[in-house]
Structure 1
Amino acid sequence: MRIAGARLPLHFRRRAGPVITHHPVIGILGVLLGAIISTLTARITAFGLADIRGSIGAGFDEGAWITTAYTVAQMAVAPAAAFFGAVFGPRRVLLVSSASYGIAALALPLTGSLPGVLACQVLAGLSSGTFIPLTIGFIVRNLPPRFVVYGIAIYAMNIELSLNLSASVEGWVIEHLSWHWLFWDTALLAPLMWLCVWIGMPRETMRRDLLMEADWWGIVYASAGFALIYAALDQGNRLDWLNSGLVTGLLLAGGLLVVAFVVQELTCPKPWITFGAIFRGNIPLLCLLLVLLRLVMLSTAYLIPQYLITVNNYRALEVGDTLLLIALPQFLLAPLIGTLLRHADPRITMAMGFAAVGMACFLASRLTADWIGETFLFSQMLQAFGQSFAMTSLVFFNIKNLSQAHILTLGALMQTSRLLGGELGAAFVQTFVRVREQFHSFTLGMNVESGDPATVQRLAGYAARVAARSVGNAEATERAASLLGSLVRKQAYVLAYSDGFVVIGWVIVGGLVLIALLRPAPAA
């Protein structure tokens, strides 16, 4: 069998049709639980990082690697997930990985030290990194064709829910339990996932012959290269990017390994991935669109919480109440989108989703220092609608552009694009907001001149307000100057976050241009 004149990779030479299982719904529940666990763990850890660092006595710099260890491990295993699924079968891989994840998440809070936490994070990341790549394959190969689109819609819903529920979960856990439950909550989901996989996923024959002929160098180059690039992106803002030797070294080493991976696949007689078979037609554009969509989703998921925390002093639980505005509508949108996609062109619904997200970003860019969580209601509802339509349509159109023989590889490709897109979004928006805040602070500060009548009047008003709680005029004047400085910084942050929404809105415009370039999916 040949595609585009290229020899199919080893792990594609297998039965492409559906594998029969007597409990497909239970199996679907298992893989969807894996998708929730994978995303929820990363987000909860990010929101609760300060509490975790304080509990184990880690400083800011070394504690910053706690979240990186988990997500870098996910990235490292993502490219190889499809191969291991083809060799051992998705059921065996998920049984082992769900069990090892549960053990790692359960043990992590008990280590009580930074090395122990990092080791458990790496194990949890390597385990959960297989969940999402194997989810798409199981949905496509085990659901009746007319129900596949609903499975994809539920998959997209789960990603959205876990992405936006994490702040509420973290806030509630810290308020009512202890930091240990930041990890034990998902650890409790792992046995349920294991049981669903055991009952609902079919047993498949192992392909030990693939191990002997595997393109191990290609797998190692891809895994190590993308993991190093991801680590550089995750730590870049903290270490000031190319001004850090570590970030520069990670980017250089990762880039060289990715180049080596491409050369290996082009020259290897039995490549792990045949680029001519995978990266053809719409697939390159769809991967780029997935990167852009994840960039937007992670960017806005950062901008709103940080605005509420920095400008309005919200706690995590209060931030979670705002993010729920995105999460809750997913229950209604998933069946609606699934039904619509059975009859509509996915490119149209994808464009509708991207356009709605873009409109939400431009609406949110009008924010002022007076905005609170409820003020984001309309823009967040619009964004919830748009992200659900865009993600579901994008995944569904990806599937329509590939044969079932490539579905496992599609899962790994999507996981790599998803992780890179999300990290690019987080790294970009963090750096962008930091730079724009510095710019606006400088610009606003230039207009606050000592001796200016407006400045003198404002300082006098502040001094009068704090005089009763100050010892003498000198302290009142000092506190008034501090209040004015805080006001300038607050306004600088408001302007920086507004700029962030604007630039993400224009990224969406670029995504709409890419959607216009998509061609119809090949006939089934």
Structure 2
Amino acid sequence: MSSPTPIPAAAPSPTPFDGRLAVGLFGVLIAALISGINDRVTEITLIDSLGVFGLGHDEGTWISTAYAAAEVSAMLIAPWLAITFSIRRFAIAVTVVFTLLGVIIPMSPNLQTLLVLRVLQGLAGGALPPLLMTVALRFLPWNIKLYGLSAYALTATFGPNLAMPLAALWTEQSDWRLVFWQIVPAGLVGAALIAYGLPQDPLRLERFMQADWMGAALGMGWISMLVIALSQGERLDWLASPIIVAMLMGVAVCLPLFLLNEWYHPLPLFKLQLLKRRNFAYGLSTLCLFVIVATAGSAIPAAYLMEIHHYRPQQVMPIALMIALPQLVLAPLVAFVINRHWLDSRYVLAGGLILLTIACIGASFITSDWIREDFYALQVLHAIGQPMVVVPLLKNATGVIAPMEGPFASAMVNALRGMSAVVAGSAVENFITQREHFHSNVLLDAVGSRWHTLSPLVTQGSVAELAERVRGQALVLSFSDAFLALLLIIAVLFLILLTLPKRAYPPQPPVQP
């Protein structure tokens, strides 16, 4: 690890912390959490929703793709809009719009209307997580800033893992429309708390004269095209599809132009110069890779139980809850621990990576005999390890960010984190599919080599049973390979930890003149 740097002096907080600000921050947290939960719940329950709308699988995938592209694109521009219209005013508006769209979507009369409404909801929902980080960096005083960042960490650890239990609740125990309507009470409460608690900044409409219009067009363009390519690539056979080829070519053109524009623009959406600060570059790269590990940590056990043992979401629910619920205590606890001058938070982060490594090694020994209870100990390791990684990396990354730079940092962190979530989902699914094909071919070759001795004993029914057993074993082996692949990502995280970040001290009180 790099040598420590002198303890920096923190900039004074622009607003004294009081109870009203705590209420406002809690409102933004609620809004950000329901945004992530809505995304995951609707994705999990897609099959049930398609039947109600009378849509097929291919049409359903485009609904998910459109939402994801809009959501990540909004993360790029939300901090700029929040500063322009004021954080309080913008947060209330997008929370209310997001909530109202949730009410309307189940009433969609056709596919076109459903697509438009989901895109609009994706734009509103994607704007909410960046606001939570922006508020924490903009308003919180030095002595509780880490606790505000631990609240943001819940959007990466608590929210996504709560989605499976909620999906099971609404689809198996209640009305399917609650998949969309579940956000309404929390959304209205969140908007009310924001209105009560957040300070009201003035409008800054003069920023439109300096707006980075080219950056917004290029940024939202390459993000949308990359999301489409990643989410539709496997279904459309990648480079065999003209659509995927066009999307990838668009990314190849727009992304370099976007980066070049952001480097020279006086008021960019991405302030790339922040990457010169080693701790910010470390936090950004680590968060992107961690999202893949965290996503797979709950997605792979759930997929295994559903595919091999045909569990319903309600039966998988305890697996997700074992990661989700402890975060409400562990995230602020980790913030409390690392908010000490004598403790180097890099060692806490390394401890979290070690726990995740042990969990992945243990899970790689998976067999077809494993049931839900066999995952419990491994999920406990994930529950403890994930906040030990996320909270310290946020401390390291934001410790070098001044309050006025918060919107730039928030746009970069959230847009790339959102893109990483799309990459994670696509990578895990495609990796398991490819490994299943590989193992199926190997197993079928082994069966074929002994077919001359087995064929006299084989009946039509036993052939079907044999094919099903081969597929099941191939899936189990592919899940094992997926856990081993996660070890490679964790190894990269260790390498980055050992080489890039400097020691970050807790925030300090402002220097008195």
- After TM superposition, list the pairs within 5 Å mapping 1:116-127 onto structure 2: 116-127=113-124
| From 101, 109, 112, the counterpart of 1:115 | 112
The aligned counterpart of 2:90 is 93
Sort the Cα spacing of 1:496 and 1:270 in 2 relative to 1 into closer, same or farther, 3 A: closer
Q: Deviations over 1:80-102 (max 9, x none)?
A: 11211221111111111011101
Sort the Cα spacing of 1:120 and 1:40 in 2 relative to 1 into closer, same or farther, 3 A: same
8 Å Cα contact 2:278-2:502 kept in structure 1: no
The aligned counterpart of 1:250 is 247
Q: Deviations over 1:270-289 (max 9, x none)?
A: 54544324543232232111
Sort the Cα spacing of 1:478 and 1:277 in 2 relative to 1 into closer, same or farther, 3 A: closer
Sort the Cα spacing of 1:283 and 1:123 in 2 relative to 1 into closer, same or farther, 3 A: same
The aligned counterpart of 1:424 is 423
The aligned counterpart of 2:285 is 288
Is residue 178 from structure 1 mapped to residue 175 from structure 2 by the alignment?
yes
Sort the Cα spacing of 1:220 and 1:450 in 2 relative to 1 into closer, same or farther, 3 A: closer
The aligned counterpart of 1:440 is 439
- After TM superposition, list the pairs within 5 Å mapping 1:42-441 onto structure 2: 42-268=39-265, 271-343=268-340, 344-441=343-440
Quote the sequence identity (%).
28
- Helix, strand or coil at the partner of 1:239: coil
Superposition deviation, residue 118 in structure 1: 1.4
Deviates more, 1:89-98 or 1:265-274: 265-274
Sort the Cα spacing of 1:62 and 1:143 in 2 relative to 1 into closer, same or farther, 3 A: same
What residue identity is the alignment partner of 1:163? P
Superposition deviation, residue 217 in structure 1: 1.0
- Helix, strand or coil at the partner of 1:237: coil
8 Å Cα contact 1:91-1:202 kept in structure 2: yes
Q: Which has the higher contact order (CA 8 A, sep 6+)?
A: 2
Sort the Cα spacing of 1:249 and 1:490 in 2 relative to 1 into closer, same or farther, 3 A: same
Q: Deviations over 1:121-140 (max 9, x none)?
A: 11111111111111012123
Superposition deviation, residue 302 in structure 1: 2.3
The aligned counterpart of 2:29 is 32
* TM-score normalized by the length of structure 2: 0.91
Superposition deviation, residue 416 in structure 1: 1.1
What residue identity is the alignment partner of 2:488? W
The aligned counterpart of 1:8 is none
Q: Deviations over 1:371-395 (max 9, x none)?
A: 1111011111101111111111111
In 2: Cα distance, 1:321 partner to 1:269 partner: 50
What residue identity is the alignment partner of 2:38? T
8 Å Cα contact 1:166-1:320 kept in structure 2: no
8 Å Cα contact 2:147-2:336 kept in structure 1: yes
| From 491, 494, 502, the counterpart of 1:509 | 491
8 Å Cα contact 2:73-2:415 kept in structure 1: no
Q: Deviations over 1:127-154 (max 9, x none)?
A: 1111111101212333332212122223
The aligned counterpart of 1:468 is none
Sort the Cα spacing of 1:66 and 1:301 in 2 relative to 1 into closer, same or farther, 3 A: farther
| From 14, 19, 26, the counterpart of 1:18 | 14
- Helix, strand or coil at the partner of 1:449: helix
| From 476, 496, 499, the counterpart of 2:478 | 496
- Helix, strand or coil at the partner of 2:117: helix
Q: Deviations over 1:348-379 (max 9, x none)?
A: 22222122112211111110000111101111
* TM-score normalized by the length of structure 1: 0.90
8 Å Cα contact 2:84-2:203 kept in structure 1: yes
In 1: Cα distance, 2:490 partner to 2:348 partner: 15
Q: Deviations over 1:29-76 (max 9, x none)?
A: 111112211210111011101011111111111111122122111111
8 Å Cα contact 1:168-1:318 kept in structure 2: no
Sort the Cα spacing of 1:378 and 1:405 in 2 relative to 1 into closer, same or farther, 3 A: same
In 2: Cα distance, 1:522 partner to 1:377 partner: 34
Sort the Cα spacing of 1:269 and 1:381 in 2 relative to 1 into closer, same or farther, 3 A: closer
Sort the Cα spacing of 1:488 and 1:143 in 2 relative to 1 into closer, same or farther, 3 A: same
How many equivalent residue pairs?
A: 493
Sort the Cα spacing of 1:270 and 1:510 in 2 relative to 1 into closer, same or farther, 3 A: closer
In 1: Cα distance, 2:442 partner to 2:411 partner: 46
In 1: Cα distance, 2:400 partner to 2:88 partner: 25
In 1: Cα distance, 2:156 partner to 2:183 partner: 15
In 1: Cα distance, 2:150 partner to 2:141 partner: 15
Superposition deviation, residue 265 in structure 1: 2.6
8 Å Cα contact 1:359-1:505 kept in structure 2: no
In 2: Cα distance, 1:487 partner to 1:26 partner: 55
Superposition deviation, residue 434 in structure 1: 0.6
In 1: Cα distance, 2:187 partner to 2:202 partner: 25
CA RMSD of aligned residues (A): 2.0
What residue identity is the alignment partner of 1:18? P
Sort the Cα spacing of 1:272 and 1:294 in 2 relative to 1 into closer, same or farther, 3 A: closer
8 Å Cα contact 1:449-1:455 kept in structure 2: no
8 Å Cα contact 1:40-1:163 kept in structure 2: yes
Deviates more, 1:253-262 or 1:360-369: 253-262
Bigger CA radius of gyration: 1
8 Å Cα contact 1:297-1:422 kept in structure 2: no
Q: Deviations over 1:167-225 (max 9, x none)?
A: 11111111122221111001232111110110011100111111112221112211222
| From 428, 452, 464, the counterpart of 1:482 | 464
In 2: Cα distance, 1:135 partner to 1:270 partner: 21
Superposition deviation, residue 28 in structure 1: 1.4
8 Å Cα contact 1:228-1:253 kept in structure 2: yes
Sort the Cα spacing of 1:64 and 1:86 in 2 relative to 1 into closer, same or farther, 3 A: same
Deviates more, 1:188-197 or 1:18-27: 18-27
Superposition deviation, residue 313 in structure 1: 0.4
In 2: Cα distance, 1:383 partner to 1:314 partner: 21
Structure 1: which 5+ residue stretches go unaligned?
Answer: 1-14, 461-476
Sort the Cα spacing of 1:183 and 1:279 in 2 relative to 1 into closer, same or farther, 3 A: farther
8 Å Cα contact 2:12-2:141 kept in structure 1: no
Structure 2: which 5+ residue stretches go unaligned?
Answer: 1-10, 509-513
In 2: Cα distance, 1:41 partner to 1:303 partner: 20
The aligned counterpart of 1:10 is none
